[in-house]
């Protein structure tokens, strides 16, 4: 299940790990490990990206508490409309929360390729800033592939983005490699 929690900035800076009680957003009895919450409200509502396949699915809610208490429910639809004709033949799911850029929401996701199905690779897509269900563009090639030894040591062929930030024009992608290591990769955002 997917949950949210928070900590005050003061507690975080002073290393007092007093997090709020988690609110479970996804329904009980269902598996939803790749839901991501947009870092700001869109049109005054919380926006949750909960599937990328067969299409980008974003739902809006007034209150996260309404999801936690079951008053509001989100139903994800997952599947493939057949293989895509690109490197990301089978899109799996989003990684970290979307990042707002001047051109739209940057979403990092992992996918597999039909001709290389045993390797998870990371791609990027740009969603419209007003209507994030609309895909503006996708990376033509993976932005990260499991080519290093530490991405193949324990569970071979696996990379997936876990977190991302943009600082001073550089995109920092924190990712898991081989289901054992946590690493960071960087690239200039404009690239």
State the Cα angle at 48 between 3 and 13, rounded to 5°: 55
What is the model's pLDDT at position 83? 59
Whole-number Å distance between alpha carbons of 173 and 106: 12
Residue 27: count of CB within 10 angstroms of its CB: 15
Tokens of 10: 């003061």
Query: Read out DSSP for 24-82?
Result: E-SPTTS--TT-EE-SS-BTTBEEEEEE-SSS-EEEEES-HHHHHTTSS--------SS
Query: Per-10-residue mean pLDDT for the chain, 191 residues long?
Result: 93 97 87 87 95 88 92 80 74 91 96 88 96 94 94 91 96 94 94 86
Entry pTM: 0.90
What is the model's pLDDT at position 23? 92
What is the model's pLDDT at position 22? 94
What is the model's pLDDT at position 84? 66
């Amino acid at each position: 299940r997917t949950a949210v929690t928070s900590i005050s900035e003061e507690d975080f800076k002073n290393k007092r790990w007093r997090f709020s009680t988690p609110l479970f957003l996804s329904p009980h009895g269902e598996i939803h490990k790749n839901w991501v919450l947009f870092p700001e409200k869109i049109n005054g509502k919380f926006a949750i990206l909960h599937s990328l396949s067969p299409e980008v699915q974003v739902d809006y809610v007034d209150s996260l508490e309404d999801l936690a208490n079951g008053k509001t429910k989100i139903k994800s639809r997952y599947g493939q409309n057949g293989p895509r004709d690109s490197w990301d033949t089978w899109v799996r799911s989003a990684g970290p929360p979307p990042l707002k850029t001047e051109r739209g929401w940057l979403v990092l996701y992992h996918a597999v390729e039909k001709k290389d199905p045993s390797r998870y690779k990371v791609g990027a897509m740009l969603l419209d800033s007003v209507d994030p269900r609309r895909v503006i563009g996708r990376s033509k090639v993976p932005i990260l592939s499991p080519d290093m030894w530490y991405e193949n040591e324990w569970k071979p062929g696996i990379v997936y983005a876990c977190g991302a930030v943009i600082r001073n024009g550089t995109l920092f992608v924190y990712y898991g490699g081989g289901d054992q290591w946590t690493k960071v990769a960087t690239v200039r955002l404009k690239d």
